[in-house]
Structure 1
Amino acid sequence: MIRVTLESETDALLDIARGTNVFKPIEIDALKEVLDDYHGGYHEYGHRAVTFIQDDKPVGFAYYAPTAMTDRTWHLYWIFVDKSTQARGIGAQLLKYVEEEIIKADGRIFLIETSSLPSYDLTRKFYLKYGYEQAAVIRDFFSDGDDQVIFRKRLSQ
């Protein structure tokens, strides 16, 4: 089941993100801030946080929002799945859910930004598998040798 993220799930989601062994400590800190801001009122600005629940516990998460100063462009800021349940379709279900919600909101373009580091190889392959195109690479964006890779998908004509 996918539903709106509850504030009480913050610690569990942080643990899941840590457990993926992909995110740096600074990214975990940023996720905590994002969740705090979301529950502090960012949802009023169109930001959305959803949790995938399996056996009554969170196993996946996505955070997305409309991009300011654009015509119906959206950004995916976070998506992750508990390491013990990866490669079982949960990430795909979350991504499809998010895309459908953006389409319902008359979204036009969906952008996803990620890292070029080898630890993100599967992440980049995942986006390509689900119809995203690699739209840009900004060299040394996150740090020297860690490029930002931007994926794009048109959701409506």
Structure 2
Amino acid sequence: MLRLLNPADKAEMLALVAKTQMFEKEEVSFISDTFENSSGEAIWFGAFQNEQMAGIAYCVPMEMTNETWNVLMLLVDPEHHRKGIGKALMHLMEDTLSAQGKRLLIVETSSTEDFQTARSFYEAIGYSKQGTIEHYYDDNDHKVTFTKRL
């Protein structure tokens, strides 16, 4: 089941974030605060398998643009990788934003080998690589940007 997340989902969402071990303690705290204090425009999506959260996606509008949005998080429980959950969450996000008249979705990711699967995933679901900002996240860790017209 796919749906928008609500405040009652916070504990389960944070448990999934912690389970992935992708984030430092301060990043988990930031995610918690962001979820709790999201502006009315930010949208959080969840994927559930057997009534348990299996994935999260989060996007926000880009300031000073005409209906451009940015995916800030796409996270799937490692036990559910390669089952179509990430793709389903991205399609739900795209459909939701498109229905609201939004026109462009941006995804930014790392250039490191650890993120090769993510980069391949975005290209496989129709995102176009637009460019790279070298040494953005750290020395030799570049930001790779993808977009998709809605």
TM-score normalized with structure 2 length: 0.91
Report the Cα offset of residue 26 of structure 1. 4.3
- Paired residues of 1:22 and 1:119 also in contact (CA < 8 A): no
Matched residue, 2:56: 61
For 2:24 and 2:144, the matched residues in 1 are separated by 17
Task: Provide the rounded CA distance (Å) in 1 between the counterparts of 2:54 and 2:96.
Answer: 20
Residue of structure 2 in register with 1:49 after alignment: 44
What letter matches 2:126 in structure 1?
G
| 1:5 maps to 2:34 | no
Q: Which runs of 5+ in 1 are unaligned?
A: none
Give distance in 2, aligned partners of 1:75 and 1:129. 18
User: 2:71 maps to what in 1?
Assistant: 76
Per the alignment, residue 129 of structure 2 pairs with 134
Identity %: 27
- Do residues 143 (structure 1) and 138 (structure 2) align? yes
Measured in 1, the distance between the counterparts of 2:129 and 2:24 equals 23
Structure 2, unmatched stretches of 5+, are none
* Deviation of the 1:8 alpha carbon: 3.0
CA shift, 1:151, in A, is: 0.6
* C-alpha distance in 1 between matches for 2:118 and 2:133: 17
Structure 1 CA distance for aligned equivalents of residues 26 and 123 of structure 2: 26
CA contact (8 A) 1:139 1:145 kept: yes
Q: Is the 1:64–1:78 Cα contact (8 Å) retained in structure 2?
A: yes
**Root mean square deviation of aligned Cα:** 1.5
Show CA shifts across 1:59-83 (max 9, x none). Answer: 1111112212111111111111100
Distance 2:139 2:28 in 1: 20
C-alpha distance in 2, partners of 1:37/1:93? 26
Q: Are the structure 2 counterparts of residues 135 and 24 from structure 1 closer, same or farther at C-alpha, using a change threshold of 3 Å? A: farther
Aligned mates of 2:32, 2:108 — CA distance in 1 = 19
Distance 1:84 1:100, change over 3 A: same
Query: Matched residue of 2:64: which SS?
Result: coil
Correspondence for 2:36? 36
SS of residue matched to 1:131: coil
Distance in 2 separating the partners of 1:25 and 1:125: 28
Matching residue of 1:87:
82
What SS does structure 2 have at the residue aligned with 1:71? coil
Q: Is the 8 A contact 1:22 1:120 kept in 2?
A: no
Secondary structure at the residue paired with 1:27? helix
Q: Which residue of 2 aligns with 1:109?
A: 104
For 1:10, give the aligned amino acid. Answer: K
Aligned mates of 1:126, 1:85 — CA distance in 2: 15
